[in-house]
Amino acid sequence: MTGTMNHKRRVVVTGMGAVTPLGLTIDDFWSNLLKGMSGAGPITYFDTSKYDTRFACEIKGFKATDFLDRKSVQRMDPFAQYAVISSDLAIADSGLPLDEIDPDRIGVVYGSGIGGMATYDVQFQNYIRGGPRHISPFFIPMLIPDIACGYISIKHKLKGPNYATVSACATASHAIGDAYRIVQYGDADAMICGGSEAPITPMGLGGFNSMKALSTRNDDPEKASRPFDAKRDGFVMGEGAGSLVLEELEHALKRKAKIYCELAGIGFTADAFHITAPPEDGEGAVRSMQRAIRDAGITPDQVDYVNVHGTSTPLGDVAETIAIKKVFGEHVREINISSTKSMTGHLLGAAGAVEAISAIMACHDDIIPPTINYEFPDPDCDLNYTPNSAVKRPVRYALSNTFGFGGHNATILVKKYVSA
């Protein structure tokens, strides 16, 4: 039965999977976040001697053939591998009995900000060496960002709504928000959603270096990602994927699924200002957070935690701080804020999913992950960023912010699930 605007169904998170610089499982990822572990280190994938930045947050100990057959690995760009693997983990975690559910009632919304960057690098070199006949017939299918959700649906025979989102760093949050609406309004009973990115390539690193967007703290990479710190000098590239299983509440209860949290609201806006810089007053971020809070039917003073975009850039961190103050007013002093990018680096199109998982776990476990490398206070960034150590506290509602090049803003609001 299709839902209507007058009857929005409740949506819960019943499964999660992550492939990240801090671990290849949710348990390892969350444990290392709470420990304040940095995922940054020298880049091992290629020679970086000619680059201004020579470090990133690479995935450690990852071998695709531990999860996928060799033929599949050869035909998938790393971003698609991460997406499929993390989705497999999320589905397994959820315990969804796929053989017993109408496949038309389960779909996939999954995004990547860039797609097959590594594949592009390799195939361009093939073209330079041998001309167009040396370009792989798999080049385009390995490159396009939507191929990840295609692979996920094909592997699990999921025939419901299926498409990709592409909105730079807001990509995964848009995917989660769209999947939430699809379940909420009755077009599916469960959705797989999230984002994946594999940008640590010669062209990816070179492009962001050319923009002067990256930290160049090559002598101390573990301390390079330092959101809100006065000595921040740019973001640190990361890679990986995060996946969620969203499910209609009654559908989940009927099969006695474990429930991590409830999705309560989403907010999407545009800055309509600049292709890379936020407006100084953060007004687009303000409206995004306000929309999510209004969508959830709550007031700002009910929010306990904000997992911020917090990239460690001079302009972005100040604008987000200003925006949070405008949204929460006096209550801002009661909120814990943290940027998990201080540990994972910036996963670009996957950031929203990995950071939503962080907010969900904070809500589920009543623990706030820290912002590490916070050493030198910036007078323009004067909130409680949960510096350097995790903090235990009750978390009723948590927000996750992601803002993308192009002026895309997305906020996900999650709520502690309490059984009736």
**99-132 residue pLDDT tens:** 999 999 999 999 999 999 999 999 999 999 999 9
Q: Has 309 been annotated as catalytic?
A: yes
pLDDT above 90 covers a percentage of the chain that reads 97
Residue of 156, 174, 251, 346 marked active site: 346
Among 57, 149, 156, 169, which one carries the catalytic annotation?
169
pLDDT interval class at 280 (50, 70, 90):
very high
Distance CA 381, CA 317 (A): 7
Three-state DSSP state, 108: strand
Residue that has been written with the tokens 């057959």 in this structure: 69
Instruction: Return the structure tokens found at 182.
Output: 């699809």
pLDDT attached to residue 2: 42
Query: Alpha-carbon distance 217 to 233, whole Å?
Result: 8
pLDDT > 70: what percent of the chain? 98
| pLDDT band at 6; cut points 50, 70, 90 | low
Tell me the CATH architecture of domain 267-415.
3-Layer(aba) Sandwich (3.40)
The residue from 309, 363, 364, 381 that is catalytic is 309
Domain layout of the chain by residue ranges: 11-254, 267-415
The stretch 339-349 carries a mean pLDDT of 98
User: What is the per-residue pLDDT for 57?
Assistant: 98
Catalytic: 251? no
Using the predicted structure, report yes or no on whether residue 373 has a pLDDT greater than 60. Answer: yes
In 3D space, the residue among 240, 321, 285 whose CA is nearest the CA of residue 61 turns out to be 240
Topology agreement, domain 11-254 and domain 267-415? yes
Task: Tell me the per-residue pLDDT of 259-275, one tens digit each, with 9 for 90 and over.
Answer: 999 999 999 999 999 99
Decide if pLDDT at 327 tops 60: yes
d(CA 141, CA 359): 33
CA distance 94 to 14: 5
Amino acid identity, residue 154? I
User: C-alpha 353: how far from its chain's center?
Assistant: 3
**pLDDT tops 70 at residue 3:** no
Q: What is the pLDDT of residue 249?
A: 98
Active-site annotation holds for 408: no
Whether residue 381 has pLDDT greater than 80: yes
Residue 408 pLDDT exceeds 90: yes
Separation of alpha carbons 402 and 113, rounded Å: 12
- Please state the φ and ψ torsions of residue 7, each to the nearest 5 degrees: -140, 90
Spatial contact of 24 and 62, defined as CB atoms under 8 Å apart: yes
- As a whole number, mean pLDDT of residues 52-73 equals 96
Banded pLDDT at 4 (limits 50, 70, 90) = very low
Q: Are 416 and 397 contacting, i.e. CB atoms less than 8 angstroms apart?
A: yes
Domain 11-254: CATH superfamily, name plus number: Thiolase/Chalcone synthase (3.40.47.10)
Chain mean pLDDT for the chain? 96
Helix, strand or coil, per DSSP, at residue 51: coil
Cα distance between residue 261 and residue 414, in whole Å: 7
Q: Which helix (H) or strand (E) holds 71?
A: helix 70-74
Work out the pLDDT band at 7, boundaries 50, 70, 90: confident
Token pair belonging to 20: 């990240």
- Per residue in 292-313, pLDDT (tens digit) is 999 999 999 999 999 999 999 9
